[in-house]
Structure 1
Amino acid sequence: MGGDSAPGLVALFDRLPEGWSEVTYAGRRWGVTRVVRVGGRQQSVYAEELGGTDVVSANLYLAASGPLLKPCEMPADVVLAFLVGWE
């Protein structure tokens, strides 16, 4: 996933602090880890519902053609909803 939403993808990832943090999403507590690698050209987000079974995981690559979202075994819509909706 890239193209029109590319600048927004970077901003959505940048909203999360690096390392581990606790957030709220859909009224539930989540533990989220954001890791930045390769001078910021590759990022990953892994979120687990605390006390539950839901997981959100994705990588973001800053390629020459623009940002590219690669969800891990889930639809991109699930990842985007989490990145937009967490508090």
Structure 2
Amino acid sequence: MPAGYSEGHYEGQRYGITLSASADGRRRWLYGEELGGTGRVSANLYRLADGRVALRPCEMPEAWVMGFVIGFVPDGTGR
């Protein structure tokens, strides 16, 4: 996923998403909304001190967020 704001599609629906990162790179956050609909995605990803990562979805199942990240196709990528 590209950093900043982008648009694309997931499971046939258009989404606008924003992917941001903290200055130290240890936290990334994703927020997206279905354009013209009610769908949304929101999560934080933390890089822990021991090198592992922790995904923390915001009020939605982790599996849904993971599916979105894997399945989202940004405009112009040709996927």
Which residue number in structure 2 is paired with residue 59 of structure 1? 44
Point out 4+ residue stretches in structure 1 off by more than 2 angstroms. none
Q: Which structure 2 residue ranges, 5 or more long, are not aligned?
A: 74-79
- Bigger fraction of residues in helix: 1
Question: How far apart, in 2, do the equivalents of 1:58 and 1:40 lie?
Answer: 15
Report the TM-score, using the length of structure 2 for normalisation.
Answer: 0.87
Matching residue's letter, 1:86: F
Question: How far apart, in 1, do the equivalents of 2:45 and 2:58 lie?
Answer: 11
Q: Which structure 1 residue ranges, 5 or more long, are not aligned?
A: 1-15
Report the TM-score, using the length of structure 1 for normalisation.
Answer: 0.79
Which residue number in structure 1 is paired with residue 69 of structure 2? 83
What is the Cα-based RMSD across aligned positions, in Å? Answer: 0.8
